[in-house]
Amino acid sequence: MTGFIVLMLLSVAGLTIGSSGLTILNIPELLLGKGDEVSRQILFHIRWPRVLAAILSGVALSVSGAVIQTVIRNPLGSPYTLGLSAASMFGAALAIVLLGYAAQHGIAQSLKNSPYLITLSAFIWGMACTFLITGFARWRGASPETLIMAGIILSALFGSATSLMQYISNDVELAAIVSWMFGDLGKATNQNTLFLLVVIIPSMAYFIYNTFNLSTLNAGDEVASSLGINVNRLRMITVLTASLCTAVTVAFFGVIAFVGLIIPHVTRRLVGFNETYVITGSAIFGALFLLASDIVARTIVAPVVIPVGIITSFIGAPFFLYLLFNRIKKR
Amino acid sequence: MTISFQNIKFAYGNQDVLHGVSGDLKSGRFYAIVGPNGCGKSTLIKCLDNILHPHTGTIELDGVSIKKIRKKELAKKVAYVAQTSKIIFPLDVFSTVLLGRRPHVGWLPGEKDRKLVNRIIDELGLSDLIMRNIDEISGGELQRVQIARALAQEPSVLLLDEPTSSLDLKYQIEVMQLLKQVSENKKITIVTVIHDLNLATRYANRFILMKKGRIIAHGGKEVINEENIKTLYETEVQKISHGTQTYILPV
């Protein structure tokens, strides 16, 4: 309940903080269709999609991280660890370079500035990586270790491929690739947040429906199987669904690091290891964290807005180290 | 409930582990499966619970092939306690035992399930630990929690893979005593893989002796004799009787 209240307060802060002079007092009249057109545009087409994108991305990334950590029984699990972000980054870089090449040679001029092709390519490569990993794991018996190992190998492979794209790109393309690498909620629109919502709702419904099944995996694959769970199927569908949520988020907004990794751990510390609480808690804390990070990103060196991915990395990396050292100390 | 298995063959990759084993496990008895490391004991009980799928052979529960029984239905009849594995995300004791209700519930367990779990926790003397995480309790307590979780399935058959292997003497006796009580009081068939022959003969009443993927002998306490033990472990032993107990000592 407290989480929801804080989320509401942060959402209002997210809607009103900025250089336009829009305040909390203006919101009711704008909601009623009154007020000036500029303020309405700012509220409904810039701030609102951005706040909603922060909430939805926070939910998608953190819940995906939580369920993947559970199904592969590894605290370092997340769609990013499975190579998805590296693959998406390569997809975006490839699209940027190919579109640039096409434009230089007079091919498909109309596509030159199409951000959707870059998004589509990032999404396709991210999901292709997931299918490759799950297919490989299924072939090798779907062990959690296989998934992690395959993820590390594919991350390295796609990282090298992205470096190659950067090497052969020109200055403009290189800038576009680097810019895409930083997760930025400034790319949020009403259309892409709606799309994200359509993907997230059934995915979250699947995770919540399977909370008890996911809990059985904590007892090990053999015990889960003896409890009537089809372990391989549950693991595969969960990884694919979590990857879908993450791939859509990454394709629209870029790589927002650490949310999927640290939020589930923070949640477990606060609510324990019961999957029902871990999943719902991760959703709330993930939304809060990304919303707060985005407000910081917009205000810390205002009027310059820095990509939220940089903020989450700055907060996430030291915090994760703290968790790690604290755990070692506890042992 | 009778488990009947006929001509079970299983291999991990190219390595044959079970070479056509057959037998019947009758209702309410306490079976101990003994034999040297790698002889296929654990593989056999995993096949019996459909965790591993034999390449050939049939396994039947009261005459019905387990292949025809849905996983969830099978889980209501047969429970399995694995060897202690590494705990990554430790649930509390109550939540761990509650997992045993999985085959009986739709989405989430209800009040009836919680009451049953509380009763089992109480019966097994785990009430003081109910909110403790399972990585904060002793090996013996953890083994009791695993058995409680299996009992929450309300099974007719309980399969255990070396439940005493990592325990000190006190907890070994405690766990075996508990299994004997379960067998006698709840009329649940117990099938446990165990290395300690003295513990096995003290608590179990039926024995299956395995070597190199085959059953070399099965029956009552009489099959635990010097000759069979020598065949199993290629070690000379002496059987000593003390009161009603028999003890196996290496010579």
Q: Alpha carbon A284 to chain centroid distance? A: 14
Q: Which of residues 55-84 of A touch B (CB under 8 A)?
A: 69-70, 73-75
Query: What is the number of structural domains in chain A?
Result: 1
Residue ranges covered by each domain of chain B: 3-77+156-250, 84-154
Contact B102 A75 (CB under 8 A): no
SS3 category, B37: coil
Question: What token pair was written down for A271?
Answer: 């609510």
pLDDT of residue A30: 66
Contact B109 A212 (CB under 8 A): yes
Share of chain B above pLDDT 90, in %: 50
d(CA B95, CA B90): 10
Cis peptide before A75 (omega within 30 of 0): no
Question: What token pair was written down for B174?
Answer: 């405690």
Best mutation site among A227, A232, A268 for testing chain B: the one with the most B CBs within 10 Å? Answer: A227
What is the residue range of A104's domain? 2-330
Contact B103 A215 (CB under 8 A): no
Contact A212 B79 (CB under 8 A): no
Share of chain A above pLDDT 90, in %: 27
How would DSSP label each residue in A179-231? HHHB--GGG--HHHHHHHHHHHHHHHHHHHHTHHHHHHGGG-HHHHHHTT--H
pLDDT in tens, A91-126: 989 988 888 877 777 666 655 556 678 888 888 998
d(CA A87, CA A287): 25
Inform me whether the pLDDT recorded for B12 exceeds 60: yes
Nearest CB to A219 within list B73, B96, B103:
B96
User: What residues contact A157, with CB distance under 8 A and at least 6 apart?
Assistant: A86
As a whole number, the mean pLDDT across chain A is 83
How would DSSP label each residue in B136-179? GS-HHHHHHHHHHHHHTT--SEEEEESTTTT--HHHHHHHHHHH
Position B114 confidence tier, pLDDT thresholds 50, 70, 90: very high
Nearest CB to B102 within list A216, A218, A274:
A216
Kindly report the CA angle at A142 between A136 and A146, in degrees rounded to 5? Answer: 70
Closest CA to B96 of A69, A223, A207, A65: A223
d(CA A221, CA B49): 13
Inform me whether the pLDDT recorded for A324 exceeds 90: no
d(CA A331, CA B93): 20
Inform me whether the pLDDT recorded for A3 exceeds 80: no
Mean pLDDT of A251-279: 89
Q: Amino acid identity of A4?
A: F
Nearest CB to B91 within list A74, A215, A229:
A215
**ipTM summary value:** 0.88
Contact B89 A73 (CB under 8 A): yes
Question: What token pair was written down for A119?
Answer: 């998004």
> Is A219 in CB contact (< 8 Å) with chain B?
yes
For residue B90, give how far its alpha carbon lies from the nearest alpha carbon of chain A (Å). 6
- Domain B3-77+156-250, CATH homologous superfamily name and number: P-loop containing nucleotide triphosphate hydrolases (3.40.50.300)
Per the CB < 8 A criterion, the answer to whether A288 and A58 are in contact is yes
Best mutation site among A145, A218, A226 for testing chain B: the one with the most B CBs within 10 Å? Answer: A226
> Is B96 in CB contact (< 8 Å) with chain A?
yes
Closest CA to B209 of B189, B192, B232, B186: B232
Q: Report helix angle A259-271 to A275-299, nearest 10.
A: 130
pLDDT of residue A328: 55
Of A14-28, A144-158, A245-259, minimum mean pLDDT range? A14-28
For residue B144, give how far its alpha carbon lies from the nearest alpha carbon of chain A (Å). 14
- Which residue(s) pair with A145 in the sheet? none
Contact B153 A211 (CB under 8 A): no
Contact A73 B133 (CB under 8 A): no
The CA–CA distances, whole Å, from B124 to B127, B143, B237 equal 8, 11, 36
Phi, psi of B124, rounded to the nearest 5 degrees: -90, 10
> Is A143 in CB contact (< 8 Å) with chain B?
no
Position A156 confidence tier, pLDDT thresholds 50, 70, 90: very high
As a whole number, the mean pLDDT across chain B is 89
Per the CB < 8 A criterion, the answer to whether B32 and B200 are in contact is yes
d(CA B133, CA A7): 30
Position with higher pLDDT, A156 vs A139: A156
Using the structure block, give the residue that is written with the tokens 């809990």.
Answer: A215
Using the structure block, give the residue that is written with the tokens 């079976």.
Answer: B31
Inform me whether the pLDDT recorded for B98 exceeds 90: yes
For residue A131, give how far its alpha carbon lies from the nearest alpha carbon of chain B (Å). 25
How many other C-beta atoms lie within 10 A of the C-beta of residue A39?
19
For residue B121, give how far its alpha carbon lies from the nearest alpha carbon of chain A (Å). 17
> Is B140 in CB contact (< 8 Å) with chain A?
no
pLDDT in tens, B123-146: 888 899 999 999 889 888 898 899
Contact A273 B92 (CB under 8 A): yes
Mean pLDDT of A143-167: 86
d(CA B16, CA B56): 12
pLDDT in tens, A188-224: 888 889 989 999 999 999 999 999 999 999 888 899 9
